[in-house]
């Protein structure tokens, strides 16, 4: 069985359906063999949709015409040619998507879920935390109301970014607002629900530490990416100064990166992203690092349904599994329509046991939402949950007046 074609497909929200920037595009990768069998992968977007899509075409040249049985050899050959791979999110994301699709094909051919190919399942369901639930929340009571709704839906862990439009520095007013939001959520959901604080890697070291100390009192399960990624060495001081564990990993691309952060004492909880850190082939190496170090793993999972399905297959085998990120409760309808085969029930994912990824992609839906659009810009950065950086209008579009500037603060 030969790999015949590798096709990147951009799908996007229809014009009449409101989507937050983080949920408005998906890159799927369809790998078709000489027998007509199809496997699916996914790559991340976040203001790099077109560069990643074009990188998939570069990766495809190393796979097309080769035996499916030799797909790992194709990956290793790409390593030699891709000079900047270990530091290029576009290159590793493209490679990840094709690797995921090839594993999907092999699993289907063998009649086994991918979890049986990359290890051995040790669990059949995983606990999830909800993300994306706090759209249009600025006031503390708005965060509290939506947090209660997520708990009613069965989630016992919630992640959110309480910092509004603060960037690099953190004003006294900005910190007070963050404390009020986190305090309101803690009071609303009680002590039995884990709170996870998302910094989005936005602060200089001093304000990050100041925020961490102030939020320690609410006993979060972790604080994610508290400092700007280019200043990651400051995480050592953050960990000495703040009681809450540090989580990160969505911007790390190789097993060596994860080992380096662990060995230098910069992180407690690892958050690899299977769609940008080498798919299943490198994913096994990263899992090995986590196991050897006893590091808890909470996979980053912020894009689309093929990513979720792939991540669940890794979760099934991880000795140090901690939590699984889920945006599913906050997805727009168009994204829900792309895939069948997995679900989230009472805050937990049952892990699909059918062959490959265990899912079926609805190709009619994929064709319906095919797109060539460029990632939208503004009024909020694409990594922001809509309506938390600036207040949106009641209809969910535009801004109410000009109450906040979009320029980063000095």
The answer for residues whose C-beta is within 8 angstroms of residue 214's C-beta and 6 or more apart is 175, 178, 179
SS3 28: strand
Burial class (CB in 10 A: 0-12, 13-18, 19+), 192: exposed
Burial class (CB in 10 A: 0-12, 13-18, 19+), 240: exposed
- Whole-angstrom Cα distance, residue 117 to residue 52? 27
CB 291 within 8 A of CB 326: no
User: Beta strands of 56-181 (E only): which ranges?
Assistant: 125-130, 157-160
Residues classed as catalytic: 200, 300
CB 258 within 8 A of CB 289: yes
CB 354 within 8 A of CB 316: no
The conformation of residue 392, written as its DSSP 8-state character, comes to B
How far is the CA of 99 from the CAs of 55, 70, 336, in angstroms?
14, 11, 23
- Whole-angstrom Cα distance, residue 136 to residue 183? 18
CA dihedral 308, 312, 314, 318 (to 10 degrees): 130
- Whole-angstrom Cα distance, residue 265 to residue 235? 8
How distant is the alpha carbon of residue 361 from its chain centre? 20
């Amino acid at each position: 069985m030969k790999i015949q074609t590798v096709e990147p497909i951009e799908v996007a929200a229809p014009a009449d359906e409101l989507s937050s920037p983080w949920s408005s595009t998906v890159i799927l990768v369809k790998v078709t063999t000489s027998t007509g069998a199809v496997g699916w992968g996914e790559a991340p977007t976040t203001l790099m949709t077109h560069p990643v899509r074009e990188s998939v075409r570069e990766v495809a040249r190393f796979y097309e015409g080769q035996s499916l049985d030799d797909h790992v050899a194709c990956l290793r050959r790409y390593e030699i040619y891709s000079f900047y791979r270990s530091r290029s999110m576009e290159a590793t994301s493209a490679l990840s998507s094709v690797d995921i699709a090839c594993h999907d094909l092999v699993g289907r051919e063998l009649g086994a879920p991918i979890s049986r190919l990359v290890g051995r399942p040790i669990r059949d369901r995983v606990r999830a935390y909800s993300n994306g639930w706090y759209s249009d929340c600025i006031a503390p009571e708005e965060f509290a109301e939506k947090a209660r709704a997520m708990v009613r839906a069965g989630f016992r862990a919630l992640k959110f970014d309480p910092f509004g439009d603060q960037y690099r520095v953190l004003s006294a007013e900005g910190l007070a607002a963050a404390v009020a939001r986190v305090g309101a959520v803690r009071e609303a959901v009680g002590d039995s629900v884990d709170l996870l604080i998302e910094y989005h890697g936005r602060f200089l070291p001093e304000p990050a530490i100041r925020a961490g100390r102030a939020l320690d009192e609410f006993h979060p399960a972790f604080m994610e990416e508290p400092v700007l990624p280019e200043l990651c060495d400051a995480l050592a001081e953050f960990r000495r100064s703040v009681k809450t564990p540090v989580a990160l990993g969505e911007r790390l691309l190789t097993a060596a990166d994860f080992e380096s952060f662990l060995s230098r004492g910069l992180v407690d909880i690892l958050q690899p992203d299977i769609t940008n850190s080498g798919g299943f082939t490198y994913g096994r190496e990263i899992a090995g690092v986590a196991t050897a170090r006893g590091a808890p793993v909470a996979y980053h999972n912020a894009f689309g349904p093929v990513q979720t399905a792939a991540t669940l297959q890794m979760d099934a085998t991880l000795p140090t599994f901690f939590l699984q990120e889920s945006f599913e409760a906050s997805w727009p309808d168009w994204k829900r329509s792309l895939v069948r085969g997995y679900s989230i029930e009472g805050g937990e994912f049952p892990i699909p046991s059918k062959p490959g990824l265990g899912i079926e992609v609805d190709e009619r839906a994929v064709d319906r939402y095919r797109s060539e659009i460029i990632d939208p810009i503004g009024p909020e950065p694409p990594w922001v949950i809509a309506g938390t950086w600036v207040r949106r209008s009641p209809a969910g579009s535009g801004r109410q007046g000009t109450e906040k500037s979009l320029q980063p603060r000095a």
